[in-house]
């Protein structure tokens, strides 16, 4: 028998961590945010937005701007602050349960061709519904929101409004309303009640600009929320808006 100890055994390098186990049947992967936080988060966002608008207006007035006819920069900054308040409120109230993840708000990748199909269907449905809606109500007026934000006053204002309306605002609305508001209510009464309430909640502030647009938003919002619930992502249809 040898008096020397055996050579050490070489252990293999550790591999990647194992995949997470599948959820038990019947358990939803959706976050269980309390339903009561949905309206509270919306109210909190609007309170913060109003405070921000007052602060921006006060700074502009101190710099010599007119509050009766504020320059485009005041309107654009106040609207951008409102969008930031929506996202911040969603993240804040989501932390009540646990640290939020992007996929919980619907920000996740999807399969390419189903995403293309859903987006095409969403655009076709939206165009057809809009045409029927405008014809049925005999709507002649145009959306004046870009002009109200000062897009017609300068090239810089036009570019800023384009970024705000086409990029910043849709992201904020998707994250808050479809990502947080709808998801929180969905855990309370299911998909359809949550979709209807989300459409109404989003359409209500639009009455300040256009009552007909608000009614169309309230009508189309539930359908879009239901479709997003099936895909667990709002990215394919975010170009359509409400």
Domain count along the chain: 1
Distance CA(87)–CA(174), nearest Å, equals: 9
The values of phi and psi at residue 142, to 5°, are -110, 160
Note whether residue 24 is domain-resident. Answer: no
- Which residues span the domain enclosing 67? 37-98+116-231
Note whether residue 31 is domain-resident. Answer: no
The values of phi and psi at residue 173, to 5°, are -65, -40
CA distances from 150 to 42, 55, 143 (A): 27, 20, 13
| The pLDDT of residue 210 is above 70 | no
Task: Say how many C-beta atoms besides its own lie within 10 A of residue 220's C-beta.
Answer: 21
CA distances from 28 to 94, 158, 229 (A): 17, 44, 12
Note whether residue 21 is domain-resident. Answer: no
Note whether residue 11 is domain-resident. Answer: no
| The pLDDT of residue 38 is above 80 | yes
Q: For residue 228, what are the contacts with CB-CB under 8 A and spacing of at least 6?
A: 106, 178, 182, 234, 237
Helix 182-189 and helix 191-203, axial crossing angle in degrees, nearest 10: 140
Give the residue among 101, 6, 89 at the shortest CA–CA distance from 50: 89
| The pLDDT of residue 146 is above 60 | yes
Distance CA(234)–CA(224), nearest Å, equals: 9
pLDDT in tens, 91-143: 999 998 888 888 888 777 777 787 778 778 777 877 887 788 778 877 676 66
- What percentage of the chain carries pLDDT values higher than 70? 69
Average pLDDT, the chain: 76
Note whether residue 53 is domain-resident. Answer: yes
Note whether residue 1 is domain-resident. Answer: no
Range with lowest mean pLDDT among 79-93, 127-141, 151-165: 127-141
The confidence score (pLDDT) of residue 12 equals: 55
Note whether residue 133 is domain-resident. Answer: yes
The confidence score (pLDDT) of residue 200 equals: 82
pTM beyond 0.75, yes or no? no
Note whether residue 110 is domain-resident. Answer: no
């Amino acid at each position: 028998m040898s008096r020397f100890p055996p050579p050490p055994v070489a252990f293999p390098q550790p591999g990647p961590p194992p995949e997470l186990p599948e959820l038990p049947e019947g358990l939803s992967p959706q976050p269980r945010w309390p339903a009561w936080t949905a309206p509270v988060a919306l109210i909190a966002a609007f309170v913060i937005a109003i405070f921000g608008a007052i602060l921006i207006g006060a700074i502009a007035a101190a710099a010599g701007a007119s509050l009766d006819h504020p320059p485009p920069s005041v309107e654009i900054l106040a609207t951008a602050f409102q969008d930031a308040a929506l996202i911040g409120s969603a993240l804040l109230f989501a932390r009540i349960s646990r640290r939020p993840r992007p996929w919980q708000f619907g920000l996740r990748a999807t399969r390419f061709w189903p995403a293309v199909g859903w987006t095409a269907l969403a655009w076709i449905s939206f165009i057809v519904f809009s045409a029927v809606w405008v014809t049925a109500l005999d709507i002649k007026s145009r959306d004046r929101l870009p002009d109200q934000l000062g897009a017609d006053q300068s090239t810089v204002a036009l570019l800023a409004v384009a970024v705000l309306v086409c990029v910043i605002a849709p992201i904020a609305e998707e994250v808050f309303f479809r990502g947080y508001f709808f998801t929180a209510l969905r855990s309370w009464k299911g998909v359809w009640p949550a979709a209807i309430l989300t459409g109404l909640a989003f359409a209500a502030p639009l009455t300040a600009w256009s009552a007909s647009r608000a009614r169309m938003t309230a009508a189309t919002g539930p359908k879009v929320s239901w479709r997003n619930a099936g895909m667990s992502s709002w990215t394919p249809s975010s170009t359509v808006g409400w």
